[in-house]
Amino acid sequence: MNTPYKNQIIWIIGASSGIGLALAQELSVRGATLALSSRRKDELEKLRLALGNEHKIFPLDITDAEKTMRTAQAIRGAFNRIDRVIFLAAAYTPMQMDELDIVLAKSIVDVNLTGSFNLIHGVLPILKEQNFKSQLALCGSVAGYLGLPGGQPYSATKAGIINLAESLYAECKGAVDIKLINPGFVRTSLTDKNKFKMPMIMEPEQAAKAIAEGLLSRSFEIHFPKRFTIFLKILRFLPYSICLYLIKNIKT
């Protein structure tokens, strides 16, 4: 196996389950040394024991800006550098807009979107001051391409992350390699909440392999599965009169 990740220091936020867990396993096999973060310390410790003692855990609530900054500094102190940072933390509960749970909606925004800002605020100065080009990857979703029925507030947060990553790419001017990850449906505890048929759904291990390969590419966006994501990209660029007509007839 090609091992371009060998001995790289990679911080994964959202590593205790779903895509983050699968990616931690994939990158460990590829030789990376991992800093593993999520809110669930017990699950992180199980993962570290399974992967090996060279990895370290850093429990983190990404909604806490001060703790996020301290964690970024602690990781840099523990490993002397950070090669890649991958933000995969996410919260999701499907809602209809006329039955919106505003407290739950705020918690989803806090994790997905505010959490992204907290991470950038805490880690970007560290990445910029290193004497090599490091990488920061934010996880959006194809759900952020379009406002689909039953997809809020999750879709809005992912649309925000897409926009945020674009701005970050422009502002960093190549000093940091900015990546945007836009997965389609991946079988996790989050998508298990969906009651509708999810086209071309992937397993977390498949998603992890796609991300691991995409992070090594020159492309800004990592999106998969291609047959599904390209269809949504085309739909997004149709005139609103056509696009919204098609969207409102989607059954969820």
| 209, 25 Cβ separation under 8 angstroms | no
Query: Would you give per-residue pLDDT tens digits along the chain (252 residues)?
Result: 557 999 999 999 999 999 999 999 999 999 999 999 999 999 999 999 999 989 999 999 999 999 999 999 999 999 999 999 999 999 999 888 998 999 999 999 999 999 999 999 999 999 999 989 999 999 999 999 998 888 899 999 999 999 999 999 999 998 999 999 999 999 998 888 988 888 999 999 999 999 999 999 999 999 999 999 999 999 989 999 999 988 887 755
Whole-number Å distance between alpha carbons of 200 and 1: 27
Nearest Cα neighbor of 120 from 139, 136, 141 is: 136
The DSSP annotation for 177-191 comes to EEEEEEE--B-STTG
Return the pLDDT at 252. 55
CB contact at 8 A, 191 and 201: yes
CA torsion through residues 155, 159, 162, 165, sign: negative
Q: What are phi and psi of 100, to 5 degrees?
A: -70, 130
pLDDT at 3 (0 to 100): 79
Place of tokens 């990158």: 27
The tally of CA atoms less than 13 A away on the side-chain side of residue 173 is: 1
Distances (CA, A) of 32 to 56, 99, 131: 12, 44, 20
114, two tokens:
């505010």
Return d(Cα 20, Cα 183) in angstroms, integer.
12
In whole angstroms, what is the distance from residue 234 CA to residue 49 CA?
A: 44
This prediction's pTM: 0.94
- What's residue 251's pLDDT? 59
Give residue 192's pLDDT: 87
Show the domains of the chain with their CATH numbers. Answer: 9-248 (3.40.50.720)
Cα angle, residue 72 at apex, residues 70 and 77 outer, rounded to 5°: 90
pLDDT of 249: 78
Q: How far is CA 112 from CA 13, 133, 147, in A?
A: 11, 26, 16
The whole-number pLDDT of residue 87 equals: 98
